[in-house]
Structure 1
Amino acid sequence: MRPDQSGVIVLFAKRRWQGRPVDVAVPVGRSIPPRALAWLKAFAERQQRPLLYTAQTLSEDGGYAAQQQVFVHGPPAFREQVAAWQRSGQPLW
C-alpha cells in the first residue's frame, strides 16, 4: 500500500465506531484506483472494519475543489452514523 504504487493513502484506525476501528482512504490523484479500492473493501469486510474513502471533485476552473466526495463502505448502521456525523458538522476523521 505504498501511495506511489497503490495510488492511495490509507489512515488505519483513524476513528472508532461501535468499538471497531474505522479506516480512511484518500486518493493520491483524483480517485482511488479500482484495484486498490477493491482490495480495501475486501480487507474491510474480512476484518469487519468500516471504511471511509474519498474522491476529488473538480472545480469550475478544472482544478481540484476544496471539498472531496466521501463514500462509506460498511454496514447500514455505520452509513447512518456517518450521515448523522455529517449533518451535525462533525469531522469524519
Structure 2
Amino acid sequence: MNTTHTTDLSRDLDRQARRTVKTRLGWLTHAAVYLAVIGGLSLLAYTNGRHLPVGAALGWGLALAIHGLRVLVTGSGLRERMVQAERQRLQGQQGPHSA
C-alpha cells in the first residue's frame, strides 16, 4: 500500500469519525435541551397548579426519538453496510464484461 493511499484512507476515516461524533453530540445536546425545557415547564406547571405539559413532552419526545434513530443508523455504520451490499449486488448484475 503506498503512502498517498494510506494518508487518504486515514483522512477519510478521520472525517467519518468526526462526522459520527458530531451527530452523536448533536443528539445528546437535543436530549439535554429537551430535559431542561420539559423539566422547567413541568416545574412551572406544578408550582402554578396546572396540568403537566404532556402534549409538549410527547411531541418533542417523538422528534427526539426520530433524531435518535437517525443517529443510530448513521453512527452504527448501517448505512455504509447497506451501500456496500447494494454495490456488490449491482456489480453482480453487470456481468464479467462490464467494467
- Shorter-chain TM-score bucket reads under 0.3
More strand by share: 1
Give me the TM-score of the superposition, normalised by structure 1.
0.26
Q: Could you say which structure has the larger radius of gyration?
A: 2
Give me the TM-score of the superposition, normalised by structure 2.
0.25
More helix by share: 2
